[in-house]
Structure 1
Amino acid sequence: MRYVRLRRVGAIVLVGALATACSDPSASANGMVHSARGGAQTDNADGALLAYEHSVGVQLDGAMIVPRLQAIQAACSEARFGTCVLIEAQQSAGERPSARAVLRMAPAGIEPMIALAGEGGEAGERSTRAEDLAVVVRDNTTEQDRLTKEMARLQAFESRPDLSVADMIALSERIAATEAQIEAARRDGAQHRRRIETQLLTVELRARNGEQGRSEIGAAFREFGSTLATGTAWTIRVSAFLLPLAIVCVALFALLRAWWRRRRRG
């Protein structure tokens, strides 16, 4: 009897899964596409859901790089140009100062943030790329809909009074697995919406080309003593390494010369 009930549980779960899989996903998928379109970049007629990424380089005076990075961080934390999350911030001081900031922002704040980063500097390279997430969003919506229907069927079956302990254990395991799948699908969907509704901006701050050249010349003068010491030490090591070989070569040359002279006399 227990075996028959387990088979009945499995059959009902399988029928529910097949019925969900065969259902038409177009309505729910289109609903997700249209709901996500509120904050997305979807002005093209084919319904694309675009996730934009921008990269910009700015050349500044070396002394301005760290304060400019701090200004970018402050503008982001204060949401001066809209929603903003600082993902990464790096700075390198020394002879060739540079800094890097990676931000996820509201689309309307991209250009003001770029203007802030380039204030008083020279704009360098800039690139923009977009990834269409329409298919990914549709598939995720379909998966969430399927899992939700399967969960409803499992919960309805759970309320039956004729289930044995073994049936309840098997059903509980199936419900827990389905809940985990639903949660994972929801996290993926939230990540997709975040990528569509906001945009990624990477700002590279570098010292001006002329300033980099001057810093390299100054560094060369400052490193003159250490470079001279390194070169002298290297020359001494090479001389010590080659001295035995030179002695052997001189001895061989003397022997060959003596042999040649005896041969000519003979």
Structure 2
Amino acid sequence: MREDETADWLIPDWPAPAVVRALTTTRAGGVSRPPYDSLNLADHVGDDPAAVAANRERLRTRLGLPAEPVWLRQVHGTGIVDAARLSGTAGADGSTTAQPGVVCAVLTADCLPLLLCDRAGRRVAAVHAGWRGLAGGVIEAALDAMDRPGSELLAWLGPAIGPRAFAVGDEVRAAFVAADPAAATAFHREAGGWRADLYALARQRLAARGVRAVYGGHWCTHEDRARFYSYRRDGDTGRMASLIWLEPGPGGG
């Protein structure tokens, strides 16, 4: 794989300890054919299994991963699992670990990928947060699993559908406002419904738990067809991966 094929993969712009490694892929750098072109990393969307396997191998090789990522069966819920203790694929929407060399991963194509680490570089987490998960408390569940005060955590919001593109109905707004009236500021009225700001909703949830060091959150998967997969835009499409892990070796845990 050529270096330029993965030059636009996203490296979090946050002051994480050097032992923390994190990244979100884009569409670039794989072998999948349309409509999954080209670096689809999901094995549940109808893509050729051989292409997905080749893409995952490219991911491991390109990043020099210490292990195969811990892939989850995401269910739009609030479950967070210990990635180091899984023996198979879990139905969950996030994973965490304090063990160096264990790679937490989530797959997205409009939903919000959230990466977390503590300032000491001792624990990390990857979270898949669509609107259902956000409303249900997946961020709060992940913060509980991190087992650190909010002031000791860093959060990075990866590429998700942006506030100009995310059309939702009254029931979505109602679910958030019922939990926190301040969530109303993350919705803007349009004909027939609302536009929702996933990034703002996530920041509100993080702030309520004392997490103020929040980075990223300025992309739109729906609007940037060349760079990102978008389920709402395309239907049949691939998935990007957001990964985070602690480097093995001295200082890695």
- For Structure 1 versus Structure 2, the TM-score category normalised by the shorter chain is under 0.3
Q: TM-score of the superposition, structure 1-length normalised?
A: 0.19
Question: Based on CA coordinates, which of the two structures has the bigger radius of gyration?
Answer: 1
Structure with bigger RCO (C-alpha 8 Å, 6+ apart): 1
Structure with greater helix percent: 1
